[in-house]
Structure 1
């Protein structure tokens, strides 16, 4: 299922018909401009709303309840913000060391407390991957449960590391096929400003999540 340029072009064209993801992304970008800083409560709350708009269903606290998501994310940000790649790091340029660090970062984030009902619920692997994408949209791909299990057979930090390695390899091959850099490729595909990390995720969603493709061998 490795995408070539023709397959990627078809995927991003089709995904462009879904208005919801772009609208919610624009709202998040405006609320966290010029860049998300999760030391700020307003940015953490904007991220919470965006995650739910992307299907994560993280319960909002009722009046008088502890803000579990807010507190958990604030603590995670304090631990990991300095370890994240720079904002302008493209997925194709990730180093092996950065990939390994992102796997550790993801594993910690997935376990962060996010909501409380009768017990405390962790953020989970899907929401963690989407949150990391929101923080570094040029650099890492999000996933959902089906993509994680079909492509990697698991949803833990090691599987997330494999996902980044796979995306990096696909991005490098697509750029080599195109013979242009990433911003130029996005313009050529009619998605100026969109990262290959996001466009490859759109391809994975259509091929794996929606259409149920078989596991990559």
Structure 2
């Protein structure tokens, strides 16, 4: 189901009826990682761990005397893969196909990274962490979104998810421009949807969550 501008207006209200309502966990993450998140820093990795758990990932903190499996693995991943991420100010609509290929590899490596002695980070937490790193460009997912849209949760499916979101974002921006009879910048569009400071990557994720995870149906027309 391709979201129209009308569908996104409805989905943002359904997701959060109060316009521009802040996400407390996101505010905590931003404050802990200002001016920019850098997973080379232990404090930033700890903040990312806490934020992932606030977003439902349930990655256990190590007990006293246990190794910091998540911390070490994420530091290693960042060292090897952070150069492949888009720039912090890149938008989803701007991602080129070769960048999507690189991001699929980034995602695959991150999802396979150890998160605890008996588990890997996995595809849902990996997508959420990538969103936290680049919230203007990278859409997260959960299991129901991934399976509902792509029938899988691997690197190829993640690439398809970004490509799908990119197409949706471009279409919505074109629809908004036609409605306004002039170009509409993404920050202005999402502000008009009650998501000031966010991105279409976030707005489209909310739409996907409602449709695929909660079974929400956009109003007709």
* Fold equivalence (TM over 0.5): yes
- Please report how far the alpha carbon of residue 134 of structure 1 lies from its aligned counterpart in structure 2 after TM superposition: 0.1
- Please report how far the alpha carbon of residue 14 of structure 1 lies from its aligned counterpart in structure 2 after TM superposition: 2.0
Give the direction of change, closer, same or farther, for the CA distance of 1:17–1:72 in structure 2 (3 Å limit): farther
Where structure 1 has 5 or more consecutive residues not aligned to the other structure, the ranges are none
Secondary structure in structure 1 of the residue aligned to 2:124:
helix
**Aligned length in residues:** 210
Do the aligned partners of 1:41 and 1:70 also contact (CA within 8 Å) in 2?
yes
- Please report how far the alpha carbon of residue 13 of structure 1 lies from its aligned counterpart in structure 2 after TM superposition: 1.7
Give the direction of change, closer, same or farther, for the CA distance of 1:61–1:78 in structure 2 (3 Å limit): same
Counterpart pick for 1:190 among 191, 194, 200: 194
Secondary structure in structure 2 of the residue aligned to 1:185:
helix
- Please report how far the alpha carbon of residue 124 of structure 1 lies from its aligned counterpart in structure 2 after TM superposition: 0.1
The one-character-per-residue Cα deviations of 1:140-192 (angstroms, maximum 9, x if unpaired) are 10000000011000000000000000000000000000011101101221221
1:15 corresponds to which residue? 15
Q: Please list every run of at least 4 consecutive aligned residues from structure 1 whose deviation after the TM superposition is greater than 3 angstroms.
A: 17-21
Structure 2 Cα separation of the partners of residues 16 and 146 of structure 1: 20
Structure 1 Cα separation of the partners of residues 115 and 186 of structure 2: 35
Give the direction of change, closer, same or farther, for the CA distance of 1:111–1:21 in structure 2 (3 Å limit): farther
Structure 2 Cα separation of the partners of residues 17 and 10 of structure 1: 10
Structure 2 Cα separation of the partners of residues 182 and 212 of structure 1: 25
Counterpart pick for 1:202 among 195, 198, 206: 206
2:171 corresponds to which residue? 173
Where structure 2 has 5 or more consecutive residues not aligned to the other structure, the ranges are 178-183
User: TM-score normalized by structure 1?
Assistant: 0.93
The one-character-per-residue Cα deviations of 1:35-94 (angstroms, maximum 9, x if unpaired) are 110000000000000000100011110000000000000000000111111001100110
- Please report how far the alpha carbon of residue 212 of structure 1 lies from its aligned counterpart in structure 2 after TM superposition: 6.9
Secondary structure in structure 2 of the residue aligned to 1:114:
strand
2:101 corresponds to which residue? 100
User: TM-score normalized by structure 2?
Assistant: 0.92
2:4 corresponds to which residue? 4
Do the aligned partners of 1:21 and 1:54 also contact (CA within 8 Å) in 2?
no
- Please report how far the alpha carbon of residue 21 of structure 1 lies from its aligned counterpart in structure 2 after TM superposition: 7.8
2:113 corresponds to which residue? 112
1:61 corresponds to which residue? 62
Structure 1 Cα separation of the partners of residues 193 and 130 of structure 2: 24
Counterpart pick for 1:124 among 122, 125, 128: 122
Give the direction of change, closer, same or farther, for the CA distance of 1:190–1:142 in structure 2 (3 Å limit): same
